[in-house]
Chain A
Amino acid sequence: MAELRIIGKLIPRQDALEKAMGLIQYAADFSMPGMLYGKVLRSPYASARIISIDTSAAERLPGVRTVLTARDVPQNESVTRFGQTHAVGGGFEGLYRVLADKKVHYMGEPIALVAGETEAISETALDLIRVKYEPLPGVFDPIESMKPDAPQVEEGRSNVITHFKVRKGEVEKGFFEAEVIIENTYRVPFVDHAYLEPESGLAWIDENGVITIRVSTQVIEHFRGVADVLGLPHNQVRVIGTYVGGGFGGKEDITVEGFLALLTYKTGRPVKLTYTREESILCHSKRHPYIMIYKTGARRDGRLTAMEAKLVSDAGAYVFLSPWVLLYSMVDAAGPYRIPHVRVDGYTVLTNNIFTSANRGFGAPQVCFAYESQIDELAKRLGIDPLKIRNINFLEKGESLASGQVLEHHVALKETTKKAFHALGEKTVPQGNVKTGQGIASGMTSYGRMIFLHDTSRSHISIEMDGSVTIRAGIQDIGGGQASSLCQIVAEVLGVPLKDIKIYIADTALTPHAGTTTATRQLYMSGNATLMAAQEIRKTLLRKAGEMMRTDPQRLDLVDREVIDTEGSEKSLSLTEVVKACASDGLPLYNVALFKAPFRDLTQYERIEGTVFPDFTFGSHAVEVAVDVETGKVQVLKLISCYDVGKAINPLSVEGQLEGGAIYGMGYALTEEVIVEKGEVKTPSLSEYLLPTSMDVPEVQTILIESGDGVGPFGAKGVGEPSVCSVAPAISNAVYDAIGVRIYDLPLTPEKIVKALKAKKGKIKID
């Protein structure tokens, strides 16, 4: 395999044609005879005691088959798990409560479930459930929530879920040595994933009595948690994942699975449950809003001396992934910079807001906005070029993050920053009220899960008598080309065309567990597992072919369904001849491989120290904006995304990730905010929660660097989440370059810009 024939080529994904033809069925496209329709009753209060629930009128409604409340759930309370083998402890696992019983903790919390013969009947039944509430005081601001006298969100526990620390050197000493100090508070909002496919699933009891759930999810391995809810053995629940119409972290937590399992278990009938868009926005997790107080010191020559940060994230009413997200932020908080003295304190805090959890980037984009704004401000204050100040301070391979993790692989930041910025070219000449500016920002995002999770993935490959190949892997494909990449790897290693490969994914009963499609881990984890399995089969085939050809197997290669001699001779064998010979010798024509990420247990969780992640992806965004100083409107004119991707398994897919990630980040910077007032989501539609449209976006230009130094197959790094990281600060820095004012709160709305411009002119004092 000296020369790569399929890896690294721009190839359409294996699922693209079916998607273009409308042949792939998404979760809501399935139905079954005799199917019931599930609906969820949700709390209209953000904080209230439930005095009573009367379901009798709903139950009497003709066509209603069941109404369930917390007392009908065999195990209503357990801990949140995300496919990890064991509970980690240290406060990482939160409470998972299926249905609210004594209290409601956020607006939209599920209280009761209905299954009826039609959707209309189930909806009517919801209106007939009588719940008596006693409203209670709530807490909606994380800073308020940290005060000792704040109302407790979850009775009997502190609102402060987690306090993490990073300590390096003596930060006071570092600030004493500093000649310039920048200090600011940054705020980032709640963000919705806004995948175009709302949550959906269909559950039934199969002929073996197994509860089977076909669902749009990033984590089929929630089947264990669902089985626990029902009090059933884990092998009595099967989850089949559909092709997902967008995930971005929002389908990482359980969505409809638990509800569907309960309804089908109680009725014995198939049940379908699809959220409306409004229900989706009101009720699924959000990206964490953060308040970030940053202080950075540097010498006159630009060398950083100290950084101090305090991060407070709003977890909402339930823990879910909040401590994990905060941990990512802690590791990334000081950025990819060499800083002798660092002190970071991070808190994640319960409030009566909608709960927050994973969202593309998982804690990395929040802190990147802060540290990249700080570095830019330092550059301006010191009169040093923004590229130069970064180059002076960028970490390099072999150096350590503030938390102590050594960067063992290539750090391409000098290159990505330079290439991205140079690709911007000349600044567009400003015209009248429209000022133009350019900005740069760089960042780091891990790929692969935290190593104390003991992450593993499995992949099964078999080759048939006619040379066609089947892959079975329990991955979820959320649109990132997860399945397609595995096909390419197998095609490369076994020398078969892509059209001869069939992949089965995402079935907890029939495909080996491959873990979650989260944490930008599938190419790394399942890619490596698939590579290992394919290499085993390759070995078997070549050994046999060597015997048949009386040639050293080392000289042989598999190319386009043939075994060829790479050292000159014209000898060759067809793949099918070799496969048949292996079969008649009883040699295994299948392999299931297990890939293990490096493991390391943490001895304590308060102070974040040492290696936490397998590796990081580094990259930069360069932006040119036009800002209308009358209206405050920002138009992104140019957006360059330059990343070290290790090795692009499929450049078309990688470009797609970088382009999409850049626009995802642009939305974060400019328009996207889930407005939550006293716990109430005020933006429950896609006309109020504003995604970038085709009219808002620039033509993103991507530049791929291939260091070959990633820990994925063929040296690949993960890009799905990293692609978002530094867009928002790059835009904010460009806005500063255009109009000379800096905005510290995302999104950069016209109102904030106009207000900041007026404050600069001294017309109004900003608070």
Chain B
Amino acid sequence: MKRRNTYPIELMINGEWKRTEVIAQETLLHILREKLGRTEVKEGCGKGDCGTCTVLLNGKAVNACLTLAIQAHRQSLVTLKGIGTLEKPHPLQESFVKHGAIQCGFCTSGMIVAAKALLDSNPHPTRQEIREAISGNLCRCTGYKKIVDAIEMAAEKLR
């Protein structure tokens, strides 16, 4: 097979600069999971319908599956693992645990990242604003109520 052209890119993931080679049409999701070991970013559909691959690109929530890797060149990226650690969990992570907002957990990564983007720009969201912020993130297990509870409570704690 003919070798396809690759381009070197560098991007900051969770505060650390990383370099990798990408092909032009490769998605950010693909390089995160397959080349950079960031499997905390989930793939639920690969076409922007489910939100499981949500990451922060320069602070804004995006679907990594709809973002070309090359667009992330010299940009800052935050995944679920960049939001908090076991030693120092983010209030959103603690709140998701405490309020039963996690069942199978597959949507959790994208959900918490989407919630982080919301709270960064709006520290006092109403429940309706929370619903809007996570409307691109599907959850099949919880019925969303406990997720909205968790985000609301985390917002309160962060204020």
Q: A: which residues have CB within 8 A of B?
A: 10, 12-13, 15-17, 19-26, 28-29, 62-63, 121, 124, 193-198, 243-248, 276-277, 478-481, 652-653, 655-656, 659-664, 685-687, 691-695, 697, 699-700
Contacts and interface: CB of A to CB of B under 8 A. Distances in A.
A17 B141 contact: no
A146 to B, nearest CB: 34
B123 interface: no
Given A198-B44, A659-B145, A691-B140, A479 B105 contact: yes
B142 A659 contact: yes
A656 B89 contact: no
Q: Name which of B39, B43, B145 has the most chain A CB atoms within 10 A of its CB.
A: B145
Given A16-B102, A196-B106, A25 B140 contact: no
27 contacts: A12-B97, A12-B98, A16-B105, A20-B93, A20-B94, A20-B97, A20-B102, A21-B84, A21-B85, A21-B89, A22-B81, A29-B33, A196-B52, A196-B106, A198-B44, A243-B104, A246-B106, A277-B46, A277-B49, A478-B104, A660-B140, A664-B143, A685-B49, A691-B138, A694-B134, A695-B131, A697-B143
A233 B18 CA distance: 47
B105 A245 contact: yes
B135 interface: yes
Contacts of A660: 103, 140-143
**Which 9 residue pairs of A and B lie closest in terms of their CB atoms, listed nearest first?**
A479-B104, A22-B40, A245-B106, A19-B105, A663-B143, A29-B39, A686-B49, A659-B143, A277-B45
B2 to A, nearest CB: 11
Given A197-B42, A478-B104, A652-B100, A697 B89 contact: no
A694 B105 contact: no
Interface in B59-111: 79-81, 84-86, 89, 93-94, 96-100, 102-109
Nearest to A639: B143
A659 B140 contact: no
Contacts of B135: 693-695
Interface of B: 1, 33, 39-40, 42-47, 49-50, 52, 79-81, 84-86, 89, 93-94, 96-100, 102-109, 112, 130-132, 134-135, 137-148
B4 to A, nearest CB: 9
Given A196-B42, A660-B143, A694 B106 contact: no
A197 B44 contact: yes
A656 B146 contact: yes
A246 B141 contact: yes
Given A195-B104, A653-B100, A277 B47 contact: yes
Contacts of A10: 100
Nearest to A195: B140
B103 A481 contact: yes
A694 B142 contact: no
A246 B143 contact: no
Contact of A24 (B49, B105, B132): B105
A182 B13 CA distance: 64
B131 A19 contact: no
A533 B134 CA distance: 43
A693 B43 contact: no
A732 B97 CA distance: 35
Nearest to B134: A694
B79 A694 contact: no
B145 A700 contact: yes
A274 B106 CA distance: 15
Nearest to B150: A20
A17 B140 contact: no
A568 to B, nearest CB: 37
Contact of A121 (B1, B33, B47): B1
Nearest to B43: A28
Contacts of A700: 143, 145
Nearest to A247: B104
B158 to A, nearest CB: 16
Contact of B148 (A28, A62, A194, A694): A694
A198 B49 CA distance: 13
A652 B103 CA distance: 11
A653 to B, nearest CB: 7
